[in-house]
Structure 1
Amino acid sequence: MPISRRQFAVGAALAPVALRFATLPASAKVPTPTSQVLPVQQIKLGDAVVTAVSDGYLDLDPSLLSNIEMEEARAILQGAFQGEPPVTTGVNAYVVHLPEQTVLVDTGGAGAFPEMGKLQERLRAAEIPPEDIDVVLLTHLHPDHVGGLVLDGRLAFPNATVHLHQAEYDFWTSTENRDAAPDSAKGFFDAARQAMEVAGDKVETFTGNAELLPGITPRELPGHTPGHTGYMVGAGEDGLLIWGDIVHAGPIQFRHPEVTIAFDVDPKQAAETRKALFRDVAEKRTRVAGMHIAFPSVGHVVSEGEGYRFVSSDWQYSLD
């Protein structure tokens, strides 16, 4: 409700009273903070609420990037006030609170990297018990997205069905693909296969872009992996596209969508998918969220020169 002149005057009259209480001497020094407050942001989308949760972060060496000179990459990072490499990128997951179901998109990278694995404790702190998750949607099967699905040999979300694209399941569970992969990539196949084996008959695969759950539609975004998938919650400007790994090094790849990363299974296709998606969400003003956008990770893509830039969404003060 907009504040009136009278309400403002009443508030101003009470301010000196509040100030007297606020300036009472403290009984002890407040400890110096050593970590951020709970990294959670919530967004209202019609009948749904999306909770963005940070699982941690990852430091990326720009040498992993292709189609850009290191001098230019460093200059872009400097211009974005990111200092010297490596590039620190977020690792995020999203809870979609639907009227009848609670859905988790990706599970973080528990066990994959030391700076990750915070999702479980942060969900509980946000009063979202893992047991209350009804559905897990996976954008793809890289370890920083599926690593938190299985903990201590058991499903971390025991009451959830697990959905992913059929092409993604087939690629990472293929013995032939694993045998043909370089030794440095075999661990990716092993982690994916283990997660799928433990999930067992809870795994349900899909193809295409038909509505998967009421209010949630998958969007095929191949290239980073064969079955890489985003999930659209709602529709139009009032919705949110959770797009997975469309970017890793945001300041660089928004400006230069042609830049790929060593983790792309098909770099050429990944770049084409990114270019087309940037153009689409910019034209349609679609709000987006990414697993590797700096937390809180929700915003819009806008055209700028020959590239794009990311504009973070404002904090929503009310979810009514």
Structure 2
Amino acid sequence: MTTMRSLLFASAVALSVAVSAPAFAASDVPAVASYQQVTDSYSFPLGDLRITALSDGTVPQDLYKLLIGTSHSHTDQMLDKEFLESPVEASINAFLVQSSNHTILVDTGSGDLFGPGNGGKLLDSLASIGVKADEVTDILITHIHTDHTGGLVRNGQPAFPNATVFVGAPDLKFFLDPSNARKTGYAEQYFDEAAKTIGVYEKLGKVKTFGEGETILPGITTSLHPGHTPGSAFFTVTSKDQSMTFIGDVIHVAAVQFPDPDVTIVYDVKPEDAASVRKETFSDLAKRRELVAAPHLPFPGVGYIRAEGAGSFSWHPLEYRNRAGQ
């Protein structure tokens, strides 16, 4: 979607220049060409609900350093099929679910914790659709990693002062106990950052935990899928006869992990379990033709999974619409 907008924008600029000037002077060309983006959102209906994908930005990922269970050549072969090469650009997507009574965020992006220019665009994306931070009533956290909880805070204070935060009980227990870094060998930074983000809301009594199969809000049920983190959660949202599932970090790199779901990533707390969850999830969602939303697939990160045989899968983005009417 962003690429399409960029192409249309570029075409408009080219036409304007052709009409207003006899030639493209060398002095008019930027010294260094760069990607220029605006805040991104994409909204669509789900029954009586309005769902909006929101961009928090993108970050580069060096797959040679991050992926487990693959060789550089195998990774390159899969990337080449999608006209990509390492490093790849990973989207950081958050999602908004609006009903008559609730304004719900699913994940919050990275906030300021990845440094300038890397993520941190969620509040701007919300503002672009007319939603203020203090209007958010609930926040659903798929798991406690910085690129999902970093946006909870701003300058050390709650960025969403009126929101209740929902998170899987195993994740809160794990990440708010820094001794688990030593016990498991998982990087200390995740525990430090958890204390600075969701820990702020926990101290204020604004965090509610959940287990398997709970209805936490009208039309929203949970399921736990430990592997990527101990309390990684899915949220299935239903309105009328329509539903979709927010699947968190079951998938990071579409070009690699759809065709080969056994490939894991260093962010997984338990890589083998994460791979098992991915294969089971893809198979189930493909069989049910369920609409899914994923935080790190190319924006807007909403679409369908199809089984391709021999344990391989493919991704099919939601049909894009930009017109009036239903």
Per-residue deviation, 1:178? 2.9
Aligned to 1:218: 222
Per-residue deviation, 1:319? 6.8
Provide the rounded CA distance (Å) in 2 between the counterparts of 1:319 and 1:242: 26
Aligned to 1:89: 90
* RMSD of aligned alpha carbons: 2.3
Provide the rounded CA distance (Å) in 2 between the counterparts of 1:231 and 1:237: 16
Which contiguous aligned blocks of 4+ residues in structure 1 show a shift greater than 6 angstroms?
25-33
Aligned to 2:179: 176
Aligned to 1:284: 288
Identity %: 35
Contact 1:237 1:285 (C-alpha < 8 Å) held by counterparts:
no
Provide the rounded CA distance (Å) in 2 between the counterparts of 1:68 and 1:235: 40
Provide the rounded CA distance (Å) in 2 between the counterparts of 1:255 and 1:104: 30
2:251 is matched with which residue: 247, 269, 273? 247
Q: Which runs of 5+ in 2 are unaligned?
A: 1-14
Question: Are 1:209 and 2:210 an aligned pair?
Answer: no
Give the secondary-structure state (helix, strand or coil) at the position aligned to 1:232: strand
Contact 1:233 1:240 (C-alpha < 8 Å) held by counterparts:
yes
Provide the rounded CA distance (Å) in 2 between the counterparts of 1:196 and 1:86: 30
TM-score (norm 2): 0.85
1:31-86 CA-to-partner distances (Å, cap 9, x unmatched) read: 9995234311112100111100110112211221111121011011111011x211
Per-residue deviation, 1:232? 1.0
Question: Are 1:194 and 2:196 an aligned pair?
Answer: yes
Are residues 79 and 291 of structure 1, via their aligned partners in 2, closer, same or farther at CA, if it must alter by over 3 Å? same
Contact 1:237 1:284 (C-alpha < 8 Å) held by counterparts:
no
Larger Rg belongs to = 1
Q: Which runs of 5+ in 1 are unaligned?
A: 1-21
Provide the rounded CA distance (Å) in 2 between the counterparts of 1:273 and 1:267: 10
1:292-303 counterparts in 2 under 5 A? 292-303=296-307
TM-score (norm 1): 0.86
Aligned to 2:113: 112
1:119-173 CA-to-partner distances (Å, cap 9, x unmatched) read: 1111112211111100011011111110110110110011101110110000001
2:128 is matched with which residue: 125, 128, 152? 125
Provide the rounded CA distance (Å) in 2 between the counterparts of 1:318 and 1:70: 46
1:212-264 CA-to-partner distances (Å, cap 9, x unmatched) read: 11111112121000000111111798321111101111110000111100010
Are residues 229 and 93 of structure 1, via their aligned partners in 2, closer, same or farther at CA, if it must alter by over 3 Å? same
Aligned to 1:52: 53
1:78-129 CA-to-partner distances (Å, cap 9, x unmatched) read: 11011x2112111100000122100001110022223110111111122111
